[in-house]
Amino acid sequence: MAASTTVDSDLSPRMDQAGQSGPDAARTASSVAVPVGPRLHFDQIIQRSPVGMALIDADGLYRAANRSYCDLYGWHEDELLGRSFTQLFAPALRPTMLQRHRSFLAGEGSLDGEYDLQRRDGSPVSVLTESVRLAGDDPGEVHRLVHVVDITVRRRMEMTLADSQRFVQSVLDALSAHVCVLDDQGMIVAVNQAWRNFCQANDGTPAKTQEGTNYLAVCELAALSGTAQAPEAKAFAPLLREVLEGRRAEFQFEYGCPSPEVPRWFVVRVSRIAGSMPGRVVVAHDDVTALKLAQQALQQREAALLDLTASIPGAMFRLIARGGDRTLTYVSPGVEDLLGLTPEQVIADRGVVLRGIVPEDQPAYEASSQAALQNLHTWEVEFRFRLPDGALKWIHAKASPKPGERGETMWTGVMTDVSERKRIEAGLRHSEETFRTLFETVAQGVVYQDADGRILSANPAAQRILGLTLDQMQGRRSIDPQWHAIREDGTPFPGEEHPAMQVLRTGQPVRNVVMGVARPDQRQVWILVSAVPLQRNGQLEQVYASFEDITDRVRLESELRLQATTDFLTGAANRRSFMARLEAEFERLRRHADMSSCVMVLDLDHFKLVNDRHGHAVGDAVLRHVVQLMREQTRRLDMVGRCGGEEFAVLLPDTRGDEAMVLAERLRERVQQCPLELGDLRVEVTVSIGISPMSARDASPEAAMLRADQALYEVKHLGRNALHLAPAPPARSAADQ
């Protein structure tokens, strides 16, 4: 036997005939020498490749296409060959694409990129393509080799993500509060419409506080400006920095804001979204100008209280406390709109307000009132109030004490409706919970890795798919050999080629990579992995890797491939796959006339008697037994196929006729010496074997099979349980060629 062979692809004959030379030819050579042991043929590699490949001539017609390419567009290769590649495009685009194709072959322009095409059945498909030019058969003739990858799912996910982002933005824009979201460096990543409108109306330069602006830097610059707002900015900026750095969860701050018309005051609530990765901080501004103006008016002109309270929102009140007695002396008319009670009702029955407070909020209301009365400090509380018509409002109440002339304490305060603010706060909490819930509940596994590739965080789906807890995953890297990652063909998947590690090296996203990973419970799980870089200030900081469990799909595809090429009863190759392999071997011999191969045809002698005497179940067992013996006597590169009932064939690449005779005799003796034993039943069987060399001089691969059949006939004619070698075919004349 020869020590090595040459393996070829289905596309390689056409590429080889194109006359390519030079360094590129070395990379696209039609064959490579590999050891005799475990090796694969290029036709199997290309046909099973998940990347679609096709060869297109200068007229735009297909010359060759692999299985992935045909499956992607719903065509069989025999139907696709000779057709124009423009059939995949919408009719209006076909002339343009054909012209671009010809320009590309002429060395002008590029055809690489993403395209929206249509399958044979008219359904849409999105693909990522790359094209290279190959020399043709004739001088000056050029073909295009195109590689395509299905990105339909990725495009659909991108559209879904865009829809989700638009939905979140629409929720923010619906809020009346001025809201922005910061990253943990203080950079604005999102603002709502109320924020934009306010900036435009009051500052006139919205670009200073739009997305991409560093809000922390703006605040710190204001603190150094020497303007009227500098003191407030000096107090606000350090607190904001503490939240951004995670040293403080939240804070509330009141400040004044310049306006072309009147001064305005706001309460800003800054809070960090718990568990957000990367960190996010929400800044929400509530306009408290009306309340602030009311407080200033009370301080400046207490005597004008009665005139002012009727015009401000909410309800003003005054309470006199002397010893244990408390008496309401005034309630503004606004209490009717606020609580649905007249001022007279509230003054006459102070308990009417307490009875309207929902029971769950009454203890806090009473406790705060008692503490303020005893300690004479500002009283402030928020509670839910049930109106007489059943409606529910959130009320904010605040009052300040002032000593009276006769030893009493005068409490002057205001109650306002903060239901809208509470609704906004609830909406913000819901938004925060939504972001957190998406990470926690999405069906795909999600993993964050730092710039060194170490896992920082993983969602529950990732833990479930990989069979590891978060504690077990944290700190591990994709290059860790404990993953035992493999490719679809069973070869090791180097950790350096993991999508996350590729992103760390290149800074570019990597999409839809299939790999098998070993779980701690010894199960193999197949995942489809994508990874994208997360950058800050131009530096790659983290990698976001997502994956889905495609174990069932991979196993089904493997099973379907096996069923399509294997005889169900014996496990040998079926006739179709055997003839395809025979065709490929014949093409190899035609390119390398100095090489030799043989084909054997075997028939079980008097097999009908086995079925007649013992039944078909025993006959089936005999067939499986003989196939097992044949596999034990042949090499891994040889192919055993079942051609009919009890007729088998064996393809012997890189084998001369005399070598085939030695193997056939060894096989014949082995079958004769190893009868099938089923309990007490012993079934002896022999085989007759016809052998024929294959030759590039043959008109077709079937010619060698025919000679082997004729040799088998000779063996049967002479008595069976023997073998016969057919002569090699004569040299073909010039006329035959």
Q: Which residues are catalytic?
A: 646
- 532 and 572 Cβ atoms separated by less than 8 Å: no
Q: Which segments of 88-150 are extended strands (E)? A: 113-118, 124-135, 142-150
- H or E segment and range at residue 447: strand 445-450
User: Which DSSP helix (H) or strand (E) runs through 403?
Assistant: strand 392-403
Which one, of 62, 40, 39, 38, lies nearest residue 52 by Cα? 62
Cis preceding-peptide flag for 278 (omega within 30 of 0): yes
Residue type at 238? P
Cα 286-289-293 angle, rounded to 5 deg? 150
The whole-angstrom distance between residue 40's C-alpha and the CA centroid of its chain comes to 30
Tokens 């490579």 belong to 32
What is the DSSP code string of 628-669? HHHHHHS-TTSEEEE-SSSEEEEEETT--HHHHHHHHHHHHH
Dist CA 134 CA 148 (whole Å): 17
Give the CA distances from residue 525 to residues 45, 445, 488, 562, in Å, rounded to whole numbers and listed in that order.
23, 13, 11, 20
Contact criterion met (CB below 8 Å) for 352 and 341: yes
DSSP tag of 87:
G
Burial 695-714 (b: 16+ CB within 10 A, else e): bbbbeebebbbebbbebbeb
CA distance 504 to 275: 24
Q: Which of 393, 377, 303 is nearest to 339 (CA)?
A: 393
Q: CA 720 to CA 729: how far, in whole Å?
A: 24
* Whole-number Cα distances in Å, 434 to 181, 243, 428, 479, 729: 15, 21, 10, 33, 76
- The Cα 173–Cα 168 span in angstroms is 9
Please report, to the nearest 10 degrees, the dihedral formed by the alpha carbons of residues 581, 584, 585, 587 taken in order.
Answer: 160
Contact between 268 and 255 (Cβ < 8 Å):
yes
Give Cβ neighbours of residue 406 (< 8 Å, ≥ 6 apart): 322
Show Cβ contacts of residue 73 under 8 Å, excluding neighbours closer than 6 positions.
80, 88, 117, 119, 120, 125
Strands (E), 18-103: 31-35, 52-56, 62-65
Instruction: Please state whether beta strands 676-678 and 445-450 pair in parallel, antiparallel, or not at all (unpaired).
Output: unpaired
List of residues 6+ apart from 191 with CB closer than 8 A = 172, 179, 180, 181, 209, 210, 211
With contact defined as beta carbons under 8 Å apart, do 500 and 466 qualify?
no
Q: 85 and 179 in contact (C-beta within 8 Å)?
A: no
Residue 494 neighbours by CB distance under 10 Å:
12
> Which sign does the torsion angle of CA 675, 677, 678, 679 carry?
positive
